[in-house]
Each structure stands twice: as C-alpha cells, then as structure tokens.
Structure 1
C-alpha cells in the first residue's frame, strides 16, 4: 500500500523571516526543503524509516548539542 502524498508542512518553530524547513511525503519518500529556497533550491529526499529513526533520536535529545550556538 502506498501512502498518500501530503502538502508541504512548515515547522511551527519558524521565525518571521522564514528561517525554517518544510517537509512532505511524496511518492513514498519524505522530502525536506528550506522555506527560503522553495522554487530553485535543493530538496533532500529520505526514506520514511530514516526520518523515523532521526525523530526518535531527536526525542531522546541526541542532536541537541548541534543547535547550541
């Protein structure tokens, strides 16, 4: 069974200048893009299992140190 495609979803943590990412499900994969570069910018395409693993790591705080400035 193929999952339905979804519209782009913008992160709720986005600031007023649009510094954030958007994600969607498209053709069975998860796509990620920079909201400032929607038209011509690159899109990262990952398998749903890869995103699920990343999200689990994020929930456990494995990547928090990357956001520290």
Structure 2
C-alpha cells in the first residue's frame, strides 16, 4: 500500500506488496523489492536497489550524500 501523501516517481519500480508511509519520497531509478516496509518521512534517491523484506524506518535517507562533511569515502 502506498500512502496517498507519499510521492513516488512514475519511473520507480515498486513491487506490489511494498508499503510506503506518508510523506515519503521515492525518486527515479529506485527499485524496491517485495515485502519491503518503508515508514513515514523516508527519502530514497536513485540509483538505488532495495531487495525484498526490508524495513526502513522514519526519517531515513538512502542514496543521498553523507551529512558528515569530513567523510572522504
């Protein structure tokens, strides 16, 4: 189920059994596997592939630049 307040890019590949919470943003070039639960206020930016049966909790950011300015990764 995708909450009506979530924003999902039309090009994102979201399996039928995925749950996306309110105010979450799923960008282009994102693939989300079956059985995955995404909480409220989550941002997923592509290119990102998330497998099946994952749980991503509120306020998580995936695919974004790190917040630590000292990170040299």
Do they superpose with TM above 0.5? no
Look at both structures and tell me which one has the larger radius of gyration over its CA atoms: 1
TM-score by length of 2: 0.28
Bigger RCO of structures 1 and 2 (CA < 8 A, at least 6 apart): 2
TM-score (norm: length of structure 1): 0.29
Bigger share in helix: 1
